[in-house]
Amino acid sequence: MDTLQKMRVFTRVVQAGSFTAAAESLNSTTGAMSRAVSELEAHLRTRLLNRSTRRLALTPAGEQYLQRCQQILADVEKAEEVASGAHERPAGTLRMFSFASIGQHYVLPVISRYHVQYPEVTVELTLSQRTPDLFGGGSDVAVIAAPSLPDSEMVSLLLGSTCSILCASADYLRSRGTPQRPGDLARYECLLLDTPAFPTHEWQLEGPDECELIQVRGALQVNIAEALVVAIREGMGIGMLPLYSAVEGLRNGTLVRVLPNHTLQNMNIYALYPSRKFIDAKTRTWVDFLRSHLPDVIARDKTLLGG
């Protein structure tokens, strides 16, 4: 196994979190993965990973080496794409990132249509609540939601705007009554959603006349909106959901909107990708696909807000 392949193995082991998971993704064996990293460490005369029976952890030298490996592998892949005509014909692996809920409700349906048109492109979609480091080479394109974006060298494409709303089950409201104003929420069980961009225990409700900041507490806190949807449907209380996570429940009646004249957490949905002089065909066509398909879907969902 040459040094470049060992770098690929080392990078995949870190990304997968274990030798076993890396071996499965590379169709290899755990022993081969472990030997490759050990040989790499021997070649470099430094330890890259601290190993235990329960977890792997990068050493300081390993962290620096990982960054270099990711950049080198990205450059090698780009060189291979250029040589194979990838700038003209969409083919190869498209690595995408999305926040979990956006990925399920918006990105995956678009991937399905994209694959029909470009069958030579395979897709690796990573879902998470953390914004990725696209400069590290782990993803080609990200779809995220944020109030705004900081200045950076990233190319950003605004796909639409959305917000969060308060929801409960019909049974819960029948048993507890329906809040009429934001201050009433203090008498209800509030279910919490931990998001990267907003404080978990503060709900800033924007109404037709003013904004009102409410401090909330609850017996349940989750970090994925779809888990909160289940808790709300089960009658555990009132929860704040991104509109795209609430759409299906509002349409089929399993969710009821609470304080319908108020919204929370106004956000924009962006596609992000690294600024490159030469963008490959699969990334270019995927970004064009997002531009063509998502704005109308996002705008359609917002019609549920009324007004």
Query: How far from 104 is each of 65, 225, 253, CA to CA, in Å?
Result: 34, 11, 20
Tens of pLDDT, residue by residue over 241-273, are 999 999 999 999 999 999 999 999 999 999 998
Q: Is 88 exposed, middle or buried (0-12, 13-18, 19+ CB in 10 A)?
A: exposed
- The answer for residues whose C-beta is within 8 angstroms of residue 146's C-beta and 6 or more apart is 197, 267, 268, 270
The SS3 assignment for 232 reads helix
DSSP string for residues in 21-87 = HHHHHTT--HHHHHHHHHHHHHHHTS--EEE-SS-EEE-HHHHHHHHHHHHHHHHHHHHHHHHTTTT
pLDDT of 92 reads 86
At residue 195, the 3 state secondary structure works out as coil
Q: Which two tokens stand for residue 15?
A: 């990304």
Q: What letter does residue 304 receive in the DSSP assignment? A: G
Dump pLDDT digits (tens) for 205-218: 998 888 999 999 88
Q: Which helix (H) or strand (E) holds 209?
A: none
Question: What residue has token string 């709303």?
Answer: 165
pTM of the model: 0.70
State the pLDDT confidence band at 132, using cuts at 50, 70 and 90: low
Residue-wise pLDDT for 14-23, tens only, equals: 988 888 888 8
Is the four-CA dihedral 14, 16, 18, 20 of positive or negative sign? negative
Provide CB contacts within 8 A for 244, sequence distance 6+.
101, 102, 105, 106, 162, 298, 301
CATH 3.40.109.10 fits domain 3-83? no
pLDDT at 77: 80
Residues 248 and 301: their CA atoms lie apart, in Å, by 10
Judge contact between 226 and 129, C-beta under 8 A. no
| pLDDT above 90 for 275 | no
List 168's β-bridge partners, or say none. 256
What separation, in Å, do the N-terminal and C-terminal C-alpha atoms of the chain show?
63
What pLDDT is attached to residue 82?
67
What value does the mean pLDDT of the chain take? 88
Q: pLDDT tens across 19-69, in order?
A: 888 888 888 898 999 999 999 899 989 999 988 777 888 999 989 999 999
**CATH fit for domain 84-307, picks 3.30.360.10, 3.90.1530.10, 3.30.1490.20, 3.40.190.290:** 3.40.190.290
β-partners of residue 75 are none
Q: Return d(Cα 153, Cα 171) in angstroms, integer.
A: 49
Domain-wise residue ranges, the chain: 3-83, 84-307
Instruction: Determine what percent of the chain falls in helix, strand and coil, rounding each to the nearest 5.
Output: 45, 25, 30
Burial of 110 (0-12, 13-18, 19+ CB in 10 A): middle
Report the 10 Å Cβ neighbour count for 210: 8
